[in-house]
Amino acid sequence: MAWYGRLVTGHGPLQTIHPVDVTGRMYAPVLGLYGGRDAGIPQGDVQKMREKLKQGNAHANASDIHVYQDADHAFYADYRPSYLKAAADDAWKRCLAWMARHLD
């Protein structure tokens, strides 16, 4: 599960491998939940991840990336100004459904 995590670049020089770099060797599908207005995770990066997942293994191909167009970064954090209830509620439903499908 990826809740608005960076896809192409890391958080510092010690992070040299990024999610787009490992789509060919995934051991499980991933659900990605992103805000369309998140300046820290540009939509171009989200699209690049989608493309890499399509080129990856079967687990990568079974992954799902969902973008909430009106949401900013941390749209699920109800203690922050970026909280967006509609997106948070939908994301939680998607999360629970994803776990029910993919976890034993």
Side-chain-facing half-sphere of 41: CA atoms under 13 Å: 30
Q: Is the pLDDT of residue 92 over 80?
A: yes
Any idea which fold 2-102 has? Rossmann fold (3.40.50)
How confident is the model at residue 44, as a pLDDT? 96
Q: Which helix (H) or strand (E) holds 44?
A: helix 43-55
Whole-angstrom distance, CA of residue 53 vs CA of residue 21: 10
For residues 76-104, give the mean pLDDT: 96
Neighbours of 12 (CB within 10 A): 7
pTM exceeds 0.85: yes
Domain boundaries, the chain: 2-102
